[in-house]
Amino acid sequence: MATIKEIAKACNVSISTVSNILNGKEKARQETKELVLQKAKEMNYVPNYMAKNLKQKNTKTIGIIAEDLTIFHTPAIVDGISACLEKKGYALLMGNMRMYQKYGNAFYTYKEYSSLVQGEMQEMLAKRVEGIIYVEGHYHVMKQFPELLAVPTVAVYGKVDSSEVPSVIYDDEQGGYEAAKTLISMGHRKIGVITGNHQSHHTMERMRGFMKALFDNGIPFNPCWEISGEWNRADGYTAAEQLIQQGVTAIFAMNDIMAGGVYDYVNEKGLKIGTDLSVIGFDNREISEAFYPTLSTVALPLSYMGNIAAELLTMKLENQAGEAEKREYKIPCQVIYRNSICRIRK
């Protein structure tokens, strides 16, 4: 591990210049800043952010790494983590990788993704955290974590390909089952479904639950009533047109945004949601309450997921047996009943 003195020598600048640049205080020339930062990276310099705590065995500090705080589910998860850690007397350090903002929706396919994840982990470890909670931006199985983790780690909203890292996710299959069951309980048997893209874990699991609910209630699955989209409002509109023309009485849209497209088409045709057609969405986004009539949907237990992740991590830190040893913790979703569903008219 390099020292500031060694970096200064390699760059042929003063120690104070290196120290100020690494601490963001130096108003040096841009080329000097770039040289110092590059050399620090090459020489594996690790800043000592918590020198006051070095003599202590425990810092009581947890690091939270979010792939992107602007993705809709992340703030609620982080809030749940924060609430739990606050009660337990832990401080937290927040790291926001801004992956979606920098690289777009498929950021996890970016060629530098692995090195970025590992770099963020190393930066957090340099701050002497006792544990890390990693909040994924999209559900996928991560293979980018360092093989030997220096501190206990928990993943939220996705999985890690490591027996050492438990994951906290929500139950997509159960959510899909409950969405279909809700429509069936209101007498609907001609139920259309608007899915996300077929490669999505969310699509596959929600569809599995949807079809299981049909089977459990003796309703045959009609593949013509399944229309795939890309999670956007325009695809919801197009799918609604096809499904309504086929005579469905209810539609399950696999997210609230596509449900908005259903509303657009129905309103354009002079029909009424909750009277002529029943609709249920998924995610319980803020927009679901802004629709008229308000949209029934499946709520994600995001804050609770964060709470559970923090509980798991602190249990690992405190060497408590039980849930901390599980590889996966799957939390059920909940149907939110509003005004977009009606009982079928016979």
Best-predicted range by mean pLDDT (33-42, 96-105, 119-128, 197-206)? 197-206
| pLDDT tops 50 at residue 54 | no
Count CB neighbours of 289 within 10 A.
14
Q: Is there a common fold for 59-165 and 172-300? A: yes
**For 78-128, what is each residue's pLDDT tens digit?**
999 999 999 999 999 999 999 888 887 777 777 778 788 888 888 888 888
| Architecture of the domain delimited by 59-165 | 3-Layer(aba) Sandwich (3.40)
| pLDDT tops 60 at residue 322 | no
Class of domain 172-300: alpha beta
Mean pLDDT of 264-269: 97
pLDDT band (50, 70, 90) for residue 144: low
| pLDDT tops 80 at residue 336 | yes
What pTM does this model have?
0.80
In this structure, are residues 168 and 155 in contact, taking their beta carbons and an 8 Å threshold?
A: yes
Q: What are the Cα distances from residue 259, in Å, to 85, 183, 248, 265, 337?
A: 36, 15, 15, 10, 15
Q: What is the pLDDT of residue 346?
A: 62
In this structure, are residues 277 and 51 in contact, taking their beta carbons and an 8 Å threshold?
A: no
Count CB neighbours of 68 within 10 A.
19
| pLDDT tops 60 at residue 321 | no
What are the domain boundaries of the chain?
4-42, 59-165, 172-300
pLDDT band (50, 70, 90) for residue 225: very high
First to last CA, the chain: 76
Q: What is the pLDDT of residue 123?
A: 87
DSSP for 130-164, written as a single string? SEEEEE-SS--EE--S-SS-SS-EEEESSEES-TT
Q: Where are the beta strands (DSSP E) in 36-105?
A: 61-66, 91-96
Higher pLDDT, 108 or 283: 283
| pLDDT tops 90 at residue 148 | no
In this structure, are residues 180 and 213 in contact, taking their beta carbons and an 8 Å threshold?
A: yes
How is residue 286 annotated by DSSP?
G
Helix, strand or coil, per DSSP, at residue 191: strand
**For 175-192, what is each residue's pLDDT tens digit?**
999 999 999 999 999 999
pLDDT band (50, 70, 90) for residue 47: low
Least confident piece of the model among 18-22, 107-111, 116-120, 145-149: 145-149
| pLDDT tops 80 at residue 73 | yes
Q: What is the pLDDT of residue 110?
A: 72
Q: How far apart are CA 342 and CA 185, in angstroms?
A: 10
Higher pLDDT, 29 or 342: 342
pLDDT band (50, 70, 90) for residue 223: very high
Tokens describing residue 305: 């997921």
Helix, strand or coil, per DSSP, at residue 170: strand
Q: How far apart are CA 127 and CA 51, in angstroms?
A: 9
pLDDT band (50, 70, 90) for residue 55: very low
Mean pLDDT of 142-168: 82
Q: How far apart are CA 40 and CA 21, in angstroms?
A: 11
**Element at 12 (helix H, strand E):** none
State the Cα angle at 341 between 338 and 343, rounded to 5°: 130
Q: What is the pLDDT of residue 132?
A: 94
Q: What is the pLDDT of residue 83?
A: 97
